[in-house]
Structure 1
Amino acid sequence: MHDQHHNITVNGVPIQEADIELASRSLKAASHPLRLKIMCLLQSNEMTVHEIVERVGTTQSNISQHLGLMRDKGLLSSHRVANRVYYRLAESRLALLQVCSSLR
């Protein structure tokens, strides 16, 4: 087996190997059913931990752990208003819901 360099493009834009690796790590992080459910909730609006807990029906501790991992992997961004933290899909990861379109 010999090493070949394959050119992969999305919408005519060449995709770098580092972009493939980054997308793969993001997809792995998103592949957990609860994390995917959270991403679907956050697709069109931002929410607090409490709001997410109410919608998915698990503990705040569990949701907080998943949100932390998702933020660390670049899937989510957050901002604080007073004592509340609001989460939303990171702009660069909205396309994960359309899978390969995030590879640019």
Structure 2
Amino acid sequence: MTQDTADDLLVMDDQIEQASRAMKAMSHPIRLKILYVLGDREVSVQDIVDQVGTSQSNISQHLAIMRDKGVLRTRKDANRVYYRVGDARTLEVIGMIHDVFCGFTK
């Protein structure tokens, strides 16, 4: 590693820390499913439960983890809570994961 690369890494500490938190938050099969369900749209908790296929309490725990790590944003409307991906870069990562692991093999 060159000195320039080492210096760049020190300057990027905040970005590296943010990326690490996001990757940890996404590193569970149910959380990946939730992110696929959300995509680039806003979805209610009940719709997420219906599409992912597990209990509402389980989904809520996973949503809270991703919200706390800054991966998701929420909006309340009366008694419904809606979730969306909070950063477009997360959608890019999810797209790459899908392409690499779920794409067609040659």
Q: Which TM class, normalised by the smaller chain length?
A: 0.7 to 0.9
When the two structures are superposed, what TM-score results if normalisation uses the length of structure 1? 0.76
Q: 1:57 to 1:81 in 2, by over 3 A?
A: same
What are the equivalent positions in structure 2 for 1:44-59 lying under 5 Å apart?
Answer: 44-59=40-55
More helix by share: 2
Query: Counterpart in 2 of 1:26?
Result: 22
Higher relative contact order (CA closer than 8 Å, sequence separation 6+): 1
Query: Among the aligned pairs, what percent are the same residue?
Result: 50
The TM-score normalised by the length of structure 2 is 0.75
Structure 1: tracts of 5 or more residues without a match: 9-14, 100-104
Amino acid at match of 1:7: D
Counterpart for residue 81 of structure 2: 85
Structure 2, unmatched stretches of 5+, are 97-106
C-alpha distance in 2, partners of 1:18/1:95? Answer: 19
Contact 2:41-2:84 at 8 Å conserved across structures: yes
* Structure 2 residue 57 is the aligned partner of structure 1 residue 61: yes
Query: 1:50 Cα deviation (Å)?
Result: 0.7
1:7 counterpart SS class: helix
